[in-house]
Amino acid sequence: MNKKLRDALNDQINKEFYSAYLYLSMAAYCDSISLAGAAHWLKVQFREEWAHGMKLYDFLVNRGEKVILKAIDRPPVKFTSFPVLFEQVYKHEQKVTGLIKRLCGIAGESGDKDAFSFLQWFVREQVEEEETAAGIASELKQKSGSAAWALVDKKLARRKE
């Protein structure tokens, strides 16, 4: 594996762990304002993002490459509102999609077909992640007030682990 691709995969591990940390911070915010359903949804998302980081970690290890972990940036801890929080989730997922596409480009440029093939799972995952986040953000935008938000919160509580 060439250095540029190895470095980019190590960077993505950090970004996946940051995503996990961001969603855990968002969950803590939701718990603090009694949105247990949203907190549950975000904790599931936290575990998914952590698993994505580990999937990249294992890929590097299985290829005999060195994993280099970096400090994880501190995520925000304050959010304006429930709808704004999920708009931020959607924007974050769009950002991650761009990062994954960039990784695919680097794998393609380096001629690493195994890495390119491996990364296609992440491309498909991001389509789902963006669609789900966009749907929640849109639903919250269309509904205002605590009664409507309580219904969305209840719906989010049903997310499977």
**CATH number (domain holding residue 67):** 1.20.1260.10
Residues 125, 126, 131, 133, CA torsion sign:
positive
Whether residue 111 is contained in a domain is answered as yes
In which domain, by residue range, is 28 found? 3-156
Whether residue 93 is contained in a domain is answered as yes
**pLDDT of 119-144, one tens digit each?**
999 999 999 999 999 999 999 888 77
Distance CA 39, CA 34 (A): 9
Based on the structure, what is the number of domains in the chain? Answer: 1
**pLDDT of 17-28, one tens digit each?**
999 999 999 999
Q: What is the largest CA-CA distance in the chain?
A: 54
| In the predicted structure, residue 4 carries a pLDDT above the cut 90 | yes
Whether residue 123 is contained in a domain is answered as yes
Integer angstrom CA distances of residue 40 from 64, 70, 147: 36, 28, 19
Distance CA 154, CA 138 (A): 16
Angle at the Cα of 127 from the Cα atoms of 122 and 128, rounded to 5 degrees:
95
- Reported confidence tier of residue 151, pLDDT bands at 50, 70, 90: confident
Q: Which token pair is 74?
A: 């501190």
pTM of the model: 0.93
Whether residue 161 is contained in a domain is answered as no
| In the predicted structure, residue 118 carries a pLDDT above the cut 80 | yes
